[in-house]
Each structure stands twice: as C-alpha cells, then as structure tokens.
Amino acid sequence: MQDNMPQTPPLTGQLNCSGYNKNLYQTKEEGYPGLFYHDNNLVSGSLEALIHHLVPTVDYYPDRTYIFTFLLSSRLFMHPYELMSKVCHLCMEQQRLGDPQADKRVRKITPKILQLLTEWTETFPYDFRDERMMRSLKELTHRLASGEEVSLHSKKKEASGVTDQGLIRRLTVQSQYEEALVKINATAAERLAALKSKPQASIQRDMLSICSDPFTVAQQLTHIELERLSYIGPEEFVQAFVQKDPLDNDKSCYSDRKKASNLEAYVEWFNRLSYLVATEICMPVKKKHRARVIEFFIDVARECFNIGNFNSLMAIISGMNMSPVSRLKKTWSKVKTAKFDILEHQMDPSSNFYNYRTALRGATQRSITANSSREKIVIPFFSLLIKDIYFLNEGCASRLPDGHINFEKFWELAKQVSEFMTWKKVECPFEKDRKILQYLLTAPAFTEDALYLASYESEGPENNMEKDRWKSLRSTLLSRV
C-alpha cells in the first residue's frame, strides 16, 4: 500500500518533537496521578494513568475528544481486547457491585459507563468483530443492568441498546459490504479474462458508449468514493502503520493487517480508476476516438474538482499521465489541453501539494458553512492523507524517554482523523445510475504491460528500445492468450 502513496516530504513544523524532552510539563494535582499537562493541555502520561482517565467516576466523565483520541491511539500499545478488560475491571471497581450500601453510587455511575461504551461501539464498531470484545461488552452491560433493583427494567433496556441495536446493525452492514466487494472484484476479473481470451473483441463497450455526459460520470464516481469512504474505520489509519512497542518486550503490537482492509480496498479503488482511464484511452483503434476519450475524461476530472471529489480527480490525472498514455503524441496533438493543464496545476505535487491543500481548505470551509449535501462533499486525495498521517506517526515518538505516552502527538493524529470522520459521513446527493456504476466497478482495466502493448499498437514504437519492448510484449502477452 505504501508503494502507491505520493512521495511527499515529512511534515515539519506540525509538532515540535524535539521539545518533548524538555521539562516543561506541569503535573495536575487532582485526578489519577501520572498525567502531565502544559498550559492546561494533556501532553503525556503513563499508560495506566491514561486508562484511568478514560473510565468515568461518580463526579467525572471524560471529554469526548479525549475518548476518541485515546481509543484511537491506544492500539499502538495494546490490543483493544486488553484495553476492554482493563476498562471492565476499573468499572467494576467503581460500581462496587454486590455492595448493598452502594445503590446511590451505582445509580450515578451506571449511565456514565453505558455512555462510554456507547461512544466506543458507535465510533469503533469494528473492534467488536472480535468475539472476545463482544463477549466482554455483553458481560459488562449485563452486570451493570443487574447491579441494583431500582429502575432495573429501564437500565436493562439502556444496556441492551449498547450491544443489540446499532452495533449489530453496523457489523452486519460491514459484512454485506465486504461480500459485495468480493463479488465486484470477481466480476471485474472475469470480464478482464474474457477480453484476454478474445483480444480481437476490442469493439467491446467503452465508457463513452455507456454515458457521454461528464457531469453524470463524475457524480457516479462520487457515489463510489463516498460509499467506500464510509466503511473505513478511524482505527485503520493507526493500524496500517503499527510496528512494535519497544517497552513491550519487543512483542508485536496490535497489527493485524486485516484490520485495515477497508482502507486498503479504497487505495485499490484509486489504482483501478487510474488504470481504467488509461485503458479507455489506449484501447480505441482510431486516433480521433482516443482524443475524444481524453477530452471526455478531462471534463469528468473538472467536474470532480467542482464537486470536491479530489480523489477521483487525482486518479484520472494519474491515469492520463501513465507512460503508455503520455507517449501517444499524435493523439495528444488533437486534444485541447488547456483545461487539463489547469487541473494538473491544481494537483501539482511541488511545495508538498500546496495548490491542492489550498483547494482542500476551500472545500472544507465550504462544507462547514454548507446548506446542502451537495456543498458538504469533501473527498480528499486519499493517498496524501495517509502519507500525512504516516509521517506524523513516524516523525514523532509515541513514547517519551521516561516511558510515558506522548499524548501531544495523538491529539494531532486525532485531529486529522476526526476531520476525515466528518467528510465520510456526508450522504451522496446524486441519483444512482446502476449501469454506469457497474461499468466503473467491473469494466476491464489493463495491466501496465497490456497498456504498453495497446499503446504501441495504436502509435508505433519511436525508437529501438520501444521496438524491442513491443516485440517482447507481443511475444509474451499474445502467447498467453
């Protein structure tokens, strides 16, 4: 996955990592010892203290931002099941269940614990695909519900809502989505295999025969983007880069790559769209038709930019800039490239994608003040977002020299992921076109070698090196067929 990321320089100036070694921290007297603050902001603490800070008491409930930040970052140091076990233990201590004198205490603390569990299941539902997590959750909510006789019915109803309603529904929808992805990928593979077995059938349907309206295609691309974004859990941004915790006896941390499968599937979609665009351009036999396809996708990319769909925009530009496409000089000579030049300027990688980041800030501001779903759409250039988070994770230590957790780093991490969480919740306002969606998701997309072969067949080799490669590709690819 990292191979597909844009090569951007590390984010400097975001966090003063070197300053973490200075003794600028102030200990906050109240609460559990071991938390350190600077200018009233939590900057570090022992893992044990941070876990205690997560668990409610009679007089305290953690800030929602803290809950999200700690649940997001904690998986760098422990499996969510281990954290759940510690939380359950601390909750039971708070509850003093079985103590007949603790009814008032139980009545005050139970709703807070249930609220914490609700926030956990709503924000990180995929944690509970682990059977141990679900079992612990059910056991804790059951004990909370049976802890006192007063208002027992209402408490049982509230506790069961944590496990039996939204969470189960979200996990079911997730499973259905994964099954649908498998079917889509299988169909795409079958269609590509069918084309390979009958290469003379290049008269197959292309994008322009399915839909010749760039705005409609851009809308359908936005449907795909928003749907796939919606299934990415915030924890996947951390789990994709988890390495080892040096203070944990060199054991591997929570790093099951399957836990980042939705994120990886989204990166694969970007690659598919890029190769599909290149395939659509290289496939036509006639130069005039190829030029029309290029101009069509330039218009699609422009509409994606106007919508705020920067991921599809960059995928299309990437497809057009692939060598098998860019070498088609006779084709490009027939194309009006002024609009394409403007789009390339907007997504220029120089100065760490300064132009794109400026456009993204504008789209984000528009989204904040928007009155319609159409104006709320912000789909970031996803590989760059991952790259930013990767550099943030790699550029600053997760632990300080004294062994404490560098929580200042995780505030920044949570800030970036929280912004993404806002973007992914937007519902697509455009009407679905099943035929266009099916084509975009399953139409044959050539490999790089197949693209080069199609390119050489369209416009012959220009030098000896290209001639040798053409002969080699014809020999290997056509012999397989």
Instruction: Find the CATH number of the domain harbouring 75.
Output: 1.20.870.10
Q: 424 and 294: one domain?
A: yes
The answer as to whether 27 is a domain residue is no
Residues of the chain below pLDDT 50: 1-16, 18-26, 28-30, 97-98, 148-156, 201-203, 244-257, 481
The answer as to whether 225 is a domain residue is yes
Residues 6+ positions from 190 with CB-CB distance below 8 Å: none
Q: 112 and 236: one domain?
A: no
The answer as to whether 176 is a domain residue is no
Angstrom CA distances, 242 to 72, 166, 370, 409, stand at 12, 28, 36, 15
pLDDT for the residue 6: 45
The answer as to whether 373 is a domain residue is yes
Residues 6+ positions from 458 with CB-CB distance below 8 Å: 282, 284, 285, 287, 290, 328, 331
The answer as to whether 471 is a domain residue is no
- Among 139, 169, 199, give the residue marking a domain's end: 169
The answer as to whether 480 is a domain residue is no
**Between vectors from CA 121 to CA 30 and to CA 40, what angle results, nearest 5°?**
25
Q: Is the CB of residue 303 less than 8 Å from the CB of residue 220?
A: no
H or E element, residue 405: strand 405-406
pLDDT for the residue 162: 60
Helix (H, G, I), strand (E, B) or coil at 468: helix
Instruction: Find the CATH number of the domain harbouring 392.
Output: 1.10.840.10
Domain span holding position 441: 210-241+260-446
Q: 165 and 266: one domain?
A: no
Q: 81 and 133: one domain?
A: yes
Helix (H, G, I), strand (E, B) or coil at 53: helix
Angstrom CA distances, 49 to 69, 73, 86, 147, 176, stand at 15, 14, 12, 27, 39
The answer as to whether 188 is a domain residue is no
The answer as to whether 463 is a domain residue is no
pLDDT for the residue 16: 47
> How many structural domains are present in the chain?
2
Measured in degrees and rounded to the nearest 5, phi and psi for residue 479 equal: -65, -35
Q: 127 and 218: one domain?
A: no
Q: 151 and 232: one domain?
A: no
pLDDT for the residue 71: 96
Count other Cβ atoms within 10 Å, centred on residue 9: 9
Q: 165 and 218: one domain?
A: no
* pTM listed for this prediction: 0.86
Q: 89 and 216: one domain?
A: no
